[in-house]
Amino acid sequence: MPFRWLNGGVTKEVFTPDSLPPLTAGRSRYGVLGFPIAHSLSPFLHQAGFQALGLEAEYLRIEVSAQDLGSAIPRLIQGGFQGWNCTLPHKNSMFSLVDQVDATASEAKSVNTVRLEGGKLHGFSTDALGWRAAIDETWKIDLGKSRILILGCGGVGQTLARYLAKSGCRSLVLVNRDAARAQTLAQELKPVVAGRFPLESMAWQSGDLDRALRETDLLIQATSLGLKTDDPLPIDPSRLPKGLKIYDTVYRKEFTPLVQAARKLGYQAEDGLGMLLHQGAFSFTIWTGQKAPVEIMRQALLSAAGRQS
């Protein structure tokens, strides 16, 4: 089956490691691995970046299940990939599959960007840097003076918690449906925090959650809820204190249900599209060695999502 190309040189196909198209001579190949992956807007921002800099390169969506990730890597290399991004559910698993990790990945214990160089897989984590850039761009808040609550201690939640434990905030609360996971993460972070600020963990259904929310300035929604149209709200915005800001790390073409519901109630709420843009820009530079044309990539991303700039 031939490619079906959209405007901007982005293919609408979703490939698997066994269904990759032939690679055009002289072209570099990158992509994003995930399950599911059809919703990903990453090809639009990266293809726009490649074209803006005159780079002969393509960026594909690759569907890989969790159990097939390890066996997929040799096929990706054979298929001509020079690097790739990882999204749900692969970031933590990829950390143990690469040959080397840089400081960002070592601190996050997660890999969302892989570069093939000298026959070795080099792992990086651009999620926290991308999130921080999005936060600074959107609200320009002082995280060091902010009381932060992270809802969800999976891949991205762990990455952001580890980042905040090192960089610092006024207080940090970790909330997870499985209380043991939140508690384990808090115990891991205690030596990093070293008493510089309060660190707390609790279950999603804890009676302390409302109290913790009242003492929160920034709520980070770090579960996958909102990715599917029939997902329930991760939290009812009507129970949140006024003045609290909400950052939902999930993105879709339309704003997530949480962001829509929160905005209707007057909250400042953003979804993960800005984080996607900036983490992608950092990945772009890792692969190409060139400064990412962020504004061009932003416009391509907003256009793909059907949003106004």
Distance CA 41, CA 32 (A): 10
- Residue 299: exposed, middle, or buried by beta-carbon count in 10 A (0-12, 13-18, 19+)? middle
Cis before 191? omega within 30: no
CB 45 within 8 Å of CB 276: yes
Answer yes or no: CATH 3.40.50.10860 is held by domain 14-125+276-305. Answer: yes
Fold for the domain defined by 129-271:
Rossmann fold (3.40.50)
pTM of the full predicted structure? 0.93
Torsion sign (Cα): 167, 172, 175, 181: positive
pLDDT digit string (tens) for 143-160? 999 999 999 998 899 999
**In the chain, where are the structural domains located?**
14-125+276-305, 129-271
The reply to whether 14-125+276-305 and 129-271 are identical in fold is yes
Model pLDDT, residue 309? 61
In a structure prediction context, what are the per-residue pLDDT tens digits for the chain, which is 309 residues long? Answer: 333 434 456 777 899 999 999 999 999 999 999 999 998 999 999 999 999 999 999 999 999 999 999 999 999 999 999 999 999 899 999 999 999 999 999 999 999 999 999 999 999 999 999 999 999 999 989 999 999 999 999 889 999 999 999 999 999 999 999 999 999 999 999 999 999 999 999 998 888 999 999 999 999 999 999 988 889 999 999 999 999 999 999 999 899 999 999 999 999 999 999 999 999 999 999 999 999 999 999 999 999 999 876
Model pLDDT, residue 9? 60
Distance CA 19, CA 25 (A): 18
Active site residue 242: no
**Catalytic-labelled residue, pool 91, 166, 253, 291:** 91
Cis before 2? omega within 30: no
Distance CA 33, CA 69 (A): 9
| Residue 178 neighbours by CB distance under 10 Å | 12
Model pLDDT, residue 207? 84
Model pLDDT, residue 6? 43
